[in-house]
Structure 1
């Protein structure tokens, strides 16, 4: 799939998969929302608005409040690619989110996921 098509996918269409992945492993929707808030600066009401408007990923990240500068500390492999080596900025942002949700589903402590330790 060309990357430009990925960007036009609505965040709302992927969000339930993030939540399902977390819940399948005993984590919660609230924790997924906490990760999204940490990464993007969106609060709970703003996340609900983005979901309701079916905002695409490109707009989701472009209109986010200031992105967390600590997101650069997110390292590792997701979908067979090292996050820190992704050159295309929007794809890197999407993969940061994927990696954080993956860490949540793997049982990592929230303090470590949010790079506060």
Structure 2
């Protein structure tokens, strides 16, 4: 919310213009996924191989809660980092992949009450 919606819109428009966005992106070390396909050719994406993966995720992203409905359950499951923690537990070796999946399922069931 803002008392000045037109100023906020103008600021966002200004920041998304190529000169500002390019400088912002470079300052962030390319750790911002560009929402505009026209910016996929900026030099930052290929100046360092570590930057390139951050160029394309927006075109492949799914909304939070995909493929289910958005609501309290999907918001809670996302905020509780169920999938993130499952992957971290399996990769770190603190749990076997099967144990990590079982734990994630139990945590998800708290929200979705299956």
TM-score by length of 1: 0.27
* Rg comparison, structure with higher value: 2
| Higher RCO (C-alpha under 8 Å, 6+ residues apart) | 1
